[in-house]
């Protein structure tokens, strides 16, 4: 009776938008569906390919900003990050109210960190968005699963907006002495000017291993290899893996000789320049040493279920995206 009541309540609250929070999609890299712009620090600035989600709790976005705009970023500045449909009517899909929190200095320029203060998601009618938020809060409260990233309602709502913009999933590989590791990652982004940023869960071994290694390779994942990549999520909690036991062949990367999957569509080799503990995640800022594109095939991307529902409502895609386990 209780299960039936829960299913009925869920159906009433979510209607035909009952989707997993994480959905897989196949897209060209870089994606061309959503544009992300920064407002409130002078003229609007397109940062679609110049920002990274680097922490979940609290939710933090990192950007490298150049020119006169940097003089507008005073401590406590509150710009807006807006997510629009690219092309067509340019529909506003969501926005985040940010607050300048700190700066990470690198040889390639300053990386500005902004904490999310509030969020608005416009992918569905307000009442339906409210229903999703309420239902997910209820699930978090009832969950008996112990998580190492406790999410507040504000952080969870911010993630629904962050993942309106399709985010690629890559495989990170590295070596430390005679050992090495490989695992999936999607809290990341380019900063331009040859720099890249990403966030790793501070409580998992992968974060400390990356810091010790200092160098790594990021491999693009063809969409058909997504199930293989998801299986490697357990390696976030491991110090090392046996390269010979992986379900695919690896080859040395061109510049650093780090093992990368033979199916990699793109390999970016990089060297860590800055590390900053933020909260649930550790921020890494790296300089790209080599960027090799091997294929233009559709890539493994992730989007939030609310954006997938919007895509379906506009007849862009069928409503059948599979669940993606947490990375």
| 76 and 116 co-located in one domain | yes
303 close to 166: Cβ distance less than 8 angstroms: yes
Structurally, the chain folds into a number of domains equal to 2
| 222 and 101 co-located in one domain | no
| 196 and 281 co-located in one domain | yes
Alpha helices (runs of H) in the chain, residue ranges in sequence order: 2-14, 126-142, 153-162, 205-213, 226-231, 305-313
What value does the mean pLDDT take over residues 219-245?
Answer: 96
The alpha-carbon radius of gyration of the chain (Å, integer) is 20
Between CA 158 and CA 120 the distance in angstroms is 8
Q: Which contacts (CB < 8 Å, 24+ apart) does range 72-79 have?
A: 72/41, 72/42, 73/41, 73/100, 73/112, 74/100, 75/100, 76/100, 77/40, 77/41, 78/40, 78/117, 79/38, 79/39, 79/40, 79/41, 79/114
What value does the mean pLDDT take over residues 186-203?
Answer: 96
Least confident of 15-19, 44-48, 78-82, 86-90: 15-19
Mean predicted lDDT score pLDDT of the chain: 89
What pTM does this model have? 0.90
| 176 and 296 co-located in one domain | yes
Q: In this structure, how many other beta carbons lie within 10 angstroms of the beta carbon of residue 322?
A: 11
Digit-coded pLDDT (tens) for 261-302: 999 999 999 999 999 999 999 999 999 999 999 999 999 999
What integer pLDDT is reported at residue 75 of this predicted model?
78
* First and final C-alpha spacing in the chain: 34
Q: State which residues form the domain around 178.
A: 168-300
Q: Find all residues with CB under 8 Å of 238, minimum gap 6, and list them.
A: 181, 205, 206
- As beta bridge partners, residue 252 has 259
| 182 and 198 co-located in one domain | yes
| 204 and 142 co-located in one domain | no
Give residue 325's pLDDT band: very low, low, confident or very high (50, 70, 90).
Answer: very low
Residue 318 forms part of a structural domain: no
Residue 325 forms part of a structural domain: no
Residue 18 forms part of a structural domain: no
SS3 197: strand
Residue with tokens 């002078």: 42
Pairing status of strand 170-176 against strand 215-220 = antiparallel
| 226 and 150 co-located in one domain | no
| 89 and 208 co-located in one domain | no
Residue 205 forms part of a structural domain: yes
Residue 296 forms part of a structural domain: yes
| 121 and 172 co-located in one domain | no
Q: Find all residues with CB under 8 Å of 71, minimum gap 6, and list them.
A: none
* pLDDT above 80: residue 65: yes
Residue 199 forms part of a structural domain: yes
| 205 and 249 co-located in one domain | yes
| 133 and 253 co-located in one domain | no
| 151 and 208 co-located in one domain | no
* pLDDT above 90: residue 15: no
Report the CATH number at residue 251: 2.30.110.10
């Amino acid at each position: 009776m209780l299960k039936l009541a829960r299913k009925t309540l869920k159906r009433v609250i979510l209607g035909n938008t009952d989707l997993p929070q994480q959905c897989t999609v196949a897209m060209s890299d870089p994606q061309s569906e959503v544009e992300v712009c920064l407002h409130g620090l002078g003229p609007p600035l397109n940062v679609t390919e110049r920002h990274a989600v680097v922490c979940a709790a609290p939710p933090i976005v990192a950007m490298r900003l150049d020119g006169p705009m940097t003089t507008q970023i005073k401590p406590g500045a509150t710009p807006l990050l807006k997510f629009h449909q690219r092309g067509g009517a340019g529909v506003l899909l969501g926005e985040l109210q940010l607050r300048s929190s700190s700066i990470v200095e690198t040889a390639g320029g300053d990386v500005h960190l902004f904490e999310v203060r509030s969020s608005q998601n416009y992918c569905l009618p307000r009442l339906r968005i409210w229903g999703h938020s309420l239902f997910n809060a209820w699930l978090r409260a009832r969950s008996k699963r112990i998580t190492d990233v406790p999410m507040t309602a504000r952080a969870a709502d911010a993630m629904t907006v962050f993942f309106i913009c399709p985010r690629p999933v890559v495989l990170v590989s590295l070596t430390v002495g005679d050992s090495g590791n490989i695992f999936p990652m999607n809290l990341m982004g380019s900063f331009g000017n040859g720099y890249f940023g990403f966030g790793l869960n501070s409580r998992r071994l992968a974060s400390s291993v990356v810091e010790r290694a200092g160098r790594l390779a990021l491999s693009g994942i063809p969409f058909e290899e997504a199930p293989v990549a998801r299986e490697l999520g357990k390696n976030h909690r491991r110090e090392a893996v046996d390269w010979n036991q992986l379900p695919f062949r690896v080859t040395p990367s061109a510049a650093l000789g780090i093992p990368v999957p033979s199916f990699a569509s793109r390999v970016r080799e990089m060297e860590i320049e800055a590390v900053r503990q933020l909260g649930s995640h550790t921020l890494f800022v790296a300089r790209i040493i080599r960027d090799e594109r091997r294929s233009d095939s559709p890539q493994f991307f992730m989007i939030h279920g609310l954006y997938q529902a919007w895509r379906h409502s506009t007849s862009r895609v069928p409503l059948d995206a599979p669940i993606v386990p947490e990375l």
